[in-house]
C-alpha cells in the first residue's frame, strides 16, 4: 500500500481500490480504513460477497466500481515501483493497445537453503516470451474488461488472469509487454503439504482449454513435453503390473519410469552437482507430479475436455 501511495503519477489522477473477500479474517478491513486517513490519493475498500471462492469475483467488483478508464492490477504480496503508473499509462495513447503486461522481479534473492526444504513459489516475468498476463503487474482498458464480462469466477484457484487475457485476445484486442511498469513480487516458500494442496489449481486447465480451443494446437504434445506428467504414469503401470503378477511388464515399466524420472527431474540443466540431490528428492517430486497429474485428469473429466 505504501508503494502505491508513493507514486510519481499525480495523486488526484488515480484511485486505489482494495477488494477483500467477505470471509477474510486477516484484519485487512481495519488496516485499510486506518490508511484512508493518510492516503495521498482516494482509497476505497470493498467487502465482496459471492458464491464463488477465489480472487476473480473480488477483482470483478473492483472493475465495476473503478472510476478510471485504465485499471492496473497488482497483488497483496507485491511492491510496485514509484513510477509504476506513470510508465504504464502512456502506452494507452495508442488506441490499438488494450493491455500492458509489466516486468515482475523477485522481492528477495532466492535462497538455496530454503529451496531444499520448502517449495519456492513466486512470479517472475522479465521477457516478452514470459507473457502469462499475471495480475501481479498488468494494466487494461476498463471498457475492454466490461465487454468480455471481466474475470470468469469458475477459475477459483488459478488461470483466472490468463483466461481474462485470452478472452480479450480471442476478440482481437492487443496486449503488449514492457519492462518499464516494474513490480517486485514476494518470494514465498511453502511447506510440501501446503504446496500439494495448492495443486488443485491444475483442475482448471481443462476449463481453460475448453474456453480457448485455439490453444489446443499450442498444447499439442505439450502435456508430454512437460516431462513431469509422464513418469508417474509409468510408475503406476509398473505398480499395477506387480499387483497382477506380470513380472516382465513390471521390469519394463520400472526401467522406463526410472529413465523418464531422470530425464524429467534430474538432468534438467548442466549443474551436475545438483543431480544427486534431485535423485534423493524422488519422493517429493513424485508426490508433486502425481498429484498434478491427478487434478489435470480430474479436470478433463469434470469439464469434458480432452486436453491433448
pTM recorded for the entire structure: 0.87
Distance separating alpha carbons of residues 141 and 160, to the nearest angstrom = 17
Cα–Cα dist 307/218, whole Å: 11
**Rg over CA atoms, the chain:** 22
CA distance 50 to 136: 22
What span, in angstroms and rounded, lies between the C-alpha atoms of 231 and 228?
A: 6
Strand 174-185, strand 97-106: pairing: parallel
- Residue 65: name the closest of 165, 153, 139, 146 by CA: 146
Query: 2-190: which CATH topology?
Result: Spore Coat Polysaccharide Biosynthesis Protein SpsA; Chain A (3.90.550)
Q: Given this model, what pLDDT does residue 258 score? A: 95
Per-residue pLDDT of the chain (308 residues; tens, 9 = 90+): 999 999 999 999 999 999 998 878 888 999 999 999 999 999 999 998 877 778 899 999 999 999 999 999 999 999 999 999 999 999 999 999 999 999 999 887 665 555 555 676 667 787 877 768 999 999 999 999 999 999 999 998 889 999 999 999 999 999 999 999 999 998 888 888 998 999 999 999 999 999 998 877 766 555 555 678 889 999 999 999 999 999 899 999 999 999 999 998 999 888 888 899 889 989 999 999 999 999 999 999 999 987 76
Element (H, E) at 43: strand 42-48
Strand pairing partners for 61? none
Q: How far apart are the first and last CA of the chain?
A: 42
Domain segments of the chain as ranges = 2-190, 222-302
The confidence score (pLDDT) of residue 78 equals 94
Helix intervals (H) in the chain: 2-5, 28-35, 55-65, 84-88, 112-117, 142-147, 160-170, 192-198, 204-211, 215-219, 222-225, 231-244, 247-261, 275-280, 282-302
Instruction: Identify the H or E element spanning 78.
Output: strand 78-80
228/290 Cα distance (integer angstroms): 9
Q: Greatest CA span in the chain, whole angstroms? A: 74
Amino acid at each position: 500500500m505504501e508503494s502505491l501511495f508513493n507514486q510519481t503519477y499525480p495523486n488526484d489522477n488515480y484511485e486505489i481500490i482494495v477488494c477483500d473477500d467477505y470471509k477474510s479474517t486477516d484484519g485487512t478491513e481495519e488496516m485499510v480504513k486506518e490508511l484512508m486517513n493518510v492516503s495521498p490519493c482516494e482509497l476505497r475498500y470493498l467487502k465482496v460477497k459471492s458464491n464463488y471462492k477465489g480472487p476473480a469475483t473480488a477483482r470483478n467488483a473492483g472493475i465495476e466500481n473503478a472510476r478510471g478508464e485504465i485499471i492496473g492490477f497488482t497483488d497483496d504480496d507485491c511492491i510496485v515501483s514509484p513510477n509504476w503508473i506513470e510508465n504504464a499509462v502512456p502506452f494507452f495513447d495508442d488506441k490499438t493497445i488494450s493491455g500492458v503486461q509489466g516486468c515482475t522481479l523477485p522481492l528477495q534473492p532466492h535462497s538455496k537453503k530454503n529451496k531444499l526444504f520448502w517449495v519456492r513459489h513466486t512470479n517472475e516475468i522479465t521477457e516478452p516470451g514470459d507473457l502469462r498476463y499475471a495480475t501481479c503487474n498488468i494494466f487494461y482498458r476498463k471498457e475492454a474488461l466490461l465487454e468480455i464480462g471481466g474475470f470468469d469466477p469458475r477459475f477459483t484457484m488459478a488461470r483466472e488472469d490468463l483466461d481474462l487475457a485470452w478472452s480479450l485476445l480471442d476478440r482481437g484486442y492487443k496486449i503488449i509487454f514492457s519492462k518499464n511498469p516494474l513490480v517486485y513480487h514476494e518470494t514465498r516458500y511453502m511447506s510440501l503439504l501446503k504446496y500439494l494442496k495448492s495443486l488443485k489449481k491444475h483442475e482448471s486447465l481443462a476449463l481453460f482449454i475448453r474456453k480457448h480451443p485455439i490453444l489446443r494446437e499450442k498444447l499439442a504434445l505439450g502435456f508430454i513435453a512437460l516431462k513431469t506428467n509422464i513418469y508417474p504414469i509409468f510408475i503406476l503401470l509398473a505398480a499395477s503390473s506387480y499387483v497382477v503378477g506380470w513380472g516382465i511388464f513390471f521390469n519394463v515399466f520400472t526401467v522406463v519410469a526410472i529413465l523418464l524420472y531422470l530425464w524429467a527431474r534430474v538432468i534438467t540443466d548442466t549443474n551436475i552437482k545438483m543431480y544427486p540431490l534431485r535423485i534423493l528428492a524422488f519422493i517429493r517430486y513424485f508426490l508433486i507430479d502425481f498429484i498434478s497429474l491427478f487434478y489435470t485428469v480430474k479436470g478433463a473429466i469434470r469439464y469434458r475436455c480432452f486436453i491433448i
